Amino acid sequence: MAVDVASETHGVPAPAGDSVSVRERMLQLKSLPVMGQLGSADLSFLARHASELRVPAGVTVLRRGEVGQRVFLMTRGAVELRVGDEVRDRLEAPASVGVVPMWADRAPPYDAVTTEPSLLLDVPNEVMFGFFENHPVMLANITAGIATGLLHMQGGLPLDDSANGPPMGDRPAGPLNFVERLLLLRDTDFFADANIDALGELARHQIEQRFEPGEDLWRQGDPATHSLRIVYGNVRTERDGRVARIGSGHRLGGLDSIAAQPRSYTATAETEVIGIVEKASVMSGVIEEQPELARWLLGRMASAMLDAQGFRIAGDAQWTPLRPQLGAGRRRAT
């Protein structure tokens, strides 16, 4: 019978004071790509709040439908994500188990079960939250990693708005001022509940851009330097012969720019288009200066990822949503 760590109360660690065991856990943490960039003080903090678990094959570390209270940093071994008897994905060390549900504050849509003897560092969620919020560059890297996973899940195109005809929206009478740009941000589902100070910082750096019918917003493969909130007009997006039409109110290119990935599709104005440009460099700066926005963004993206994870099948080479969390190396931590 499989052992169920997910339901064991003694699995949540207390800070450990044994200097030898702390040093051993520090070495294990350094094997994780981003953690390896940390200094000894940061590694020591995490190591003192982590509990080492050496588990055999067949151990359930996360249970489907149950909100967990900790994250497992796997430095040796492998874990399968299962729904019933069906394997949906396989994670091999070094990898994290439970980080996406932690950010989403939701139960995973799968059971996570070890498939071979594994070495895990068990860290309480509250410790991970506090640690990452004190390391904004790492927080930005994790945000980029989850955005990359969502891009793969979407298949490279935004959601099609063609079913009922993409909305045109109301054409602004003149250039949008700061207050109007701020209200547009608050009106989007993505930012509706975000901190007003963080949104104000974003709105201050936004610029208005206009496109004529037939003009490209960008081409597939271009650098993703910004996102575009469509205020007025319709946009046609295309990738590998597949088409999605987008209307007013949508934010195009947001995941591309957060993930720092090349454009995954070509976007062309079907009509006159008026949009608000949000530079990726500004978003990154605000995320680093205001960790609460990063945590909020991560929560929204992680929740969207969980919605999709239950339907992905192992062996899909385009789906790697969990590994980038601790492997994203977009920027070096300082």
C-alpha span between 83 and 91 (Å, rounded): 15
C-alpha span between 188 and 280 (Å, rounded): 18
Residue 322 within any structural domain of the chain: no
| Beta strands 3-4 and 59-62, pairing class | parallel
Tokens of 120: 């895990």
- Predicted local confidence at residue 20, as pLDDT: 53
Lowest mean pLDDT among 110-114, 199-203, 237-241: 199-203
- Predicted local confidence at residue 16, as pLDDT: 42
The whole-chain average pLDDT of the chain stands at: 81
CB atoms inside a 10 Å sphere around CB 85 = 5
C-alpha span between 167 and 231 (Å, rounded): 10
How many folded domains does the chain comprise? 2
- pLDDT band, residue 5 (cuts 50/70/90): low
| Beta strands 207-211 and 273-279, pairing class | antiparallel
Parent domain of 175: 152-290
Residue 283 shares a structural domain with residue 162: yes
320: pLDDT strictly greater than 60: no
Residue 164 shares a structural domain with residue 99: no
315: pLDDT strictly greater than 90: no
Residue 250 within any structural domain of the chain: yes
- Predicted local confidence at residue 68, as pLDDT: 85
Residue 201 shares a structural domain with residue 129: no
Tokens of 236: 């046609």
Across the range 145-162, mean pLDDT stands at 81
C-alpha span between 185 and 207 (Å, rounded): 13
- pLDDT band, residue 130 (cuts 50/70/90): confident
Among 81, 105, 134, the domain-final residue is 134
Residue 181 shares a structural domain with residue 274: yes
- Predicted local confidence at residue 10, as pLDDT: 32
24-38 confidence digits (pLDDT tens):
899 898 888 778 778
- Predicted local confidence at residue 190, as pLDDT: 63
Residue 180 shares a structural domain with residue 116: no
C-alpha span between 171 and 274 (Å, rounded): 8
Burial (Cβ within 10 Å: 0-12, 13-18, ≥19) of residue 334: exposed
Residue 310 within any structural domain of the chain: no
Residue 317 within any structural domain of the chain: no
Residue 205 within any structural domain of the chain: yes
Whether the model clears a pTM of 0.85, i.e. scores above it, the answer is no
Residue 38 shares a structural domain with residue 102: yes
165-191 confidence digits (pLDDT tens):
899 999 998 899 999 988 888 776 666
CATH number at residue 38: 2.60.120.10
Residue 157 shares a structural domain with residue 280: yes
Q: DSSP string of 51-98?
A: EEEEE-TTEEEE-TT---SEEEEEEESEEEEEETTEEEEEEESSEEES
Residue 130 shares a structural domain with residue 173: no
259-307 confidence digits (pLDDT tens):
888 999 999 999 999 999 989 888 878 777 777 777 888 888 888 888 7
What is the DSSP secondary structure assignment for residue 35, as one 8-state letter?
A: G
Handedness of CA 14, 23, 47, 57 (dihedral sign): negative
